[in-house]
């Protein structure tokens, strides 16, 4: 028969064991970093995405991507679909449609740019691209009606001071329209924004004059690295202004993008400062890769490794 002393001794041992197990479980839980959903910018799949969007999205979901940022398509609507149909396609595959890219003003092909060729080697014909300067409310309403939380300006003119002033005005107006529609606006950079105009870095001018309550920034980690700017420095100078990122790597010769983890971008310290940046979503991107699915598979695996280290 168990007496009082034995009962107390056994009960104490059980409580101590439970406490140790609980502490051990808490320790282990604290060591496991939650995995952030990995997103994909669909320009990575251009132009093949337009031929079979459903098949493409099935492949993307199978790799493990869970968030999507859409972009320009040669077909009407969203890759030939109405907004609801495209959203339903993504939802059915376990993915969320987070953002959509548009341009800030009528598109002009850069000087000396090579034409984009189709499968037969002929220059591709593109439909007219709507832009924020001329079609702002239409674009805002379309994205808001689709239930997509972010509209992103992919590029805008800033070659002259007048261009830059007009672009800043357009973005602030669009930010106001987005706020009224219940969505958010961000601006996506390339490397040219880090050049100087009238003695000042263009990106600094944009950060100063874009209303931070209306226009956030989507930082492209490839292009900011190519420009020789440390993303972490930007986060510290402008905390909370970078809720969206393009996780894109840069080749060692700095000629262009490569799959994530195969270039020179130091992603670990960038992700370690995600809270300072205000990061909410990030999207893997690789402009015009030779094999898009091989690239995004490699990138996904390497992003998971980066997240584990950050």
pLDDT tens digits, residue range 225-283? Answer: 999 999 999 999 999 999 999 999 999 999 999 999 999 999 999 999 999 999 999 99
Q: How far apart (Å, rounded) are the C-alpha atoms in residues 178 and 181?
A: 5
Q: Would you tell me how many other CB atoms lie within 10 Å of the CB of residue 102? A: 24
Q: Which of 270, 129, 150, 156 is nearest to 218 (CA)?
A: 150
Q: Which of 199, 109, 209, 223 is nearest to 166 (CA)?
A: 209
The reported pTM is: 0.86
Dihedral angle computed from the Cα positions of residues 69, 97, 272 and 252, in that order, rounded to the nearest 10 degrees: -20
Higher model confidence: residue 11 or residue 173?
Answer: 173
12-21, 98-107, 202-211: the lowest-pLDDT one: 12-21
- The length of the chain is 310
pLDDT tens digits, residue range 99-110? Answer: 999 999 997 766
Is residue 200 helix, strand or coil? strand
């Amino acid at each position: 028969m168990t007496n009082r002393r034995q009962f107390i001794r056994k009960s104490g041992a059980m409580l101590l064991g439970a406490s140790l197990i609980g502490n051990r479980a808490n320790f282990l839980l604290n060591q496991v970093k939650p995995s952030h959903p990995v997103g994909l910018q669909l320009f990575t799949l251009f132009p093949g995405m337009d031929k079979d969007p459903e098949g493409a999205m099935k492949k993307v979901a199978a790799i493990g991507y869970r968030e999507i940022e859409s972009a320009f398509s040669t077909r009407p609507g969203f890759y030939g679909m109405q907004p609801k149909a495209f959203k339903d396609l993504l939802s059915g595959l376990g993915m969320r449609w987070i953002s959509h890219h548009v341009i800030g003003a009528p598109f002009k092909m850069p000087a000396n740019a090579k034409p984009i060729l189709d499968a037969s080697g002929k220059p591709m014909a593109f439909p007219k691209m709507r832009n924020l300067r001329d079609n702002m409310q239409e674009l805002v309403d379309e994205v808001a009606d689709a239930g997509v939380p972010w509209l992103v300006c992919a590029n805008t003119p800033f070659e002259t001071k007048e261009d830059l002033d007009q672009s800043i005005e357009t973005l602030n107006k669009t930010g106001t329209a987005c706020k009224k529609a219940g969505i958010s606006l961000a601006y996506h950079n390339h490397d040219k924004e880090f050049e100087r105009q009238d003695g000042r870095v263009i990106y600094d001018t944009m950060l100063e004059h874009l209303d931070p309550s209306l226009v956030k920034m989507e930082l492209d980690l490839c292009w900011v690295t190519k420009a020789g700017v440390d993303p972490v420095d930007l986060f510290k100078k402008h905390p909370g202004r970078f809720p969206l990122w393009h996780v894109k790597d840069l080749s060692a010769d700095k000629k262009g993008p490569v799959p994530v983890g195969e270039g020179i971008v130091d992603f670990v310290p960038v992700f370690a400062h995600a809270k300072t940046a205000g990061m909410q979503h990030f999207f893997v991107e690789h402009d015009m890769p030779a094999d898009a699915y091989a690239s995004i598979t490699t990138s996904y695996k390497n992003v998971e490794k980066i997240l584990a280290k950050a």
